[in-house]
Amino acid sequence: DAKTTQPTSMDCAEGRAANLPCNHSTISGNEYVYWYRQIHSQGPQYIIHGLKNNETNEMASLIITEDRKSSTLILPHATLRDTAVYYCIVSSNDYKLSFGAGTTVTVRA
């Protein structure tokens, strides 16, 4: 699977949008971009995934660049409960999810 690069940490203000970038420059055509998050001491939680079109669900939006080499996860109105480690993962047609170091997001009041 392609590797991903994410910033180590970022802060955002409560109520504002949080934009989390991810680079996956070696992604191949059949690989999807998945986002998970892990709130302290809990299991990871699936957020969203996509192939090449932008996706939106009740939790977040996923914007994938046209060349698919990077993506951005958008939390539209961050709350204190969104403080977590966010993982961007590229997955192909197998069962493996290879978690990188992720981005530690701290939402501040």
7 scored as a contact of another protein (CB under 8 A): no
Interface residues for another protein in 40-99 (CB under 8 A)? 42-46, 49, 51, 85, 87, 91-99
Letter string b/e over residues 74-95, b meaning 16 or more CB atoms within 10 A of that residue's CB:
bbeebeeebbbbbbbbbbeeee
- The minimum distance between CB 98 and another protein, in angstroms, equals 7
In the bound state with another protein, the residue whose beta carbon lies nearer, of 70 and 103, is 103
Q: Which residues bind another protein (CB under 8 A)?
A: 30-32, 34, 36, 38, 42-46, 49, 51, 85, 87, 91-102
